[in-house]
Amino acid sequence: MSEQKFLPFALPDIGEEEINEVVDALRSGWVTTGPKTKQFEADFAAFLGDGVEAIAVNSATAGLHLALEAIGVREGDEVIVPSYTFTATAEVVRYLGAHPVCVDVDAATFNIRPDAIRAAITDKTKAIIPVHFAGLACEMDEIIAIAREHGLKIVEDAAHAMPTYYKGKLIGTLDSDVTVFSFYANKTMTTGEGGMVVSKHKDIIARCKVMRLHGISRDAFDRYVSKTPAWFYEVVAPGYKYNMPDTAAAMGIHQLKKIRGFYEKREAMAQRFDRELAGLPLILPARAKDEGSNHAWHLYPVRIKPEAGISRDDFIAKMAEKGIGCSVHFIPLHRQPVWRDGYRLTREQFPVADAAFEAEVTLPLYTRMTADDQTRVIAAVREILGA
């Protein structure tokens, strides 16, 4: 093991502004959903613009569940998802008694393939969940066209995509039905745990608001701050407990203010990796190819080429010996027992996703990394690969 301090795969970038805002929430007496959550929602909607409304939730998983329920996914329906994603994308489909239909991904971007979507559509298909892997947008024009042709709904899994542009528009403002962002600890901005549901459709927003908190017809915050008796409420649906507390939203208020700067640093770090890892036996991440599009660089995923003479697992082990943490994104759904066995999925059905998994390793890239930290990573990669 290297004598240098261990460099983890990811760390949140939290400043005194976030700490002070959380303390203010604690001192205010509002520690659950209250004024700071409302401010965070308003700020987030304003950041995206284009008429979206935003609802803060306690995780992106919760947000995806709310979104699918709100668009009408029910028992027996099918929802098309990429195999190359985290299990949350599929599990929320099963929450509603529907079935995730896994399809293969693009070899360069790891994003869901429009032609694979089209081939998977049946008379039971209700929706599509495109996942913007690592922070690079899917081919949304084609996906939206397919959805319109077949009368399908689109819920964008934007857990990696803040702030990602697609052809001049921020993810969250496209012509899909709902978009869900994640603020987990390792994301481009964080509230510790948390997420945001955004949509331009008022009926979807209204349903998500009701289902977010037990199916209650009135906003609990409005009832509690009313100056006149306002205790009465009605439960109109069997809802969930998915609200974001003010202590989390307090962090989000200031993380959102910093997101442009965070992005600029991530882009600069990705460019440096591109330059200094070029020529090695690696496949570097795809970049945005369309004008007005970008990559948010939540992740910097590389693939080890066969000529490197080292397996992905051995590469990660050697990086750890040098005091550097790496990760793998993702173990595909078709390799996970619950989906593999439950839906009789095989590796042969997903040749691109399976090959990507065998070779993929995610290098550290986060805004708390210093230039010296990145130099360590680059030097370690080059040494292990014999450069």
What is the C-alpha end-to-end distance of the chain, expressed in Å?
Answer: 21
Q: Token pair for residue 356?
A: 């990507």
366: nearest Cα among 269, 260, 246, 261 = 269
3-class state of residue 100 by DSSP: strand
Q: Token pair for residue 104?
A: 């293969």
Annotated catalytic residue, options 187, 200, 209, 258: 187
What is each CA distance from 16 to 43, 252, 254, in whole angstroms?
Answer: 19, 13, 10
Transcribe 269-282 into DSSP letters.
Answer: HHHHHHHHHTTSSE
Q: Please, which residues have CB within 8 angstroms of residue 57's CB and are 6 or more apart in sequence?
A: 63, 66, 194, 195, 196, 197, 212, 242, 243, 244
Based on the residue annotation, tell me whether 169 is a catalytic residue of this protein: no
CA distance 190 to 159: 11
Q: Token pair for residue 149?
A: 């042709």
Q: Which residue pairs, CB below 8 angstroms and at least 24 apart, start in 278-286?
A: 279/387, 280/308, 280/381, 280/382, 280/385, 280/387, 281/305, 281/307, 281/308, 281/309, 281/385, 282/308, 282/381, 282/385, 283/359, 285/134, 285/136, 286/108, 286/109, 286/136
Count CA within 13 A, CB hemisphere, residue 167.
8
Instruction: State the pairing for strand pair 78-82/125-128.
Output: parallel
Q: Which stretch of DSSP H or E encloses residue 194?
A: none
Strand order in the sheet with 99-103: 53-57, 195-199, 178-182, 153-158, 125-128, 78-82, 99-103
Q: What residues are paired with 156 via a beta bridge?
A: 179
Residues recognised as catalytic: 187
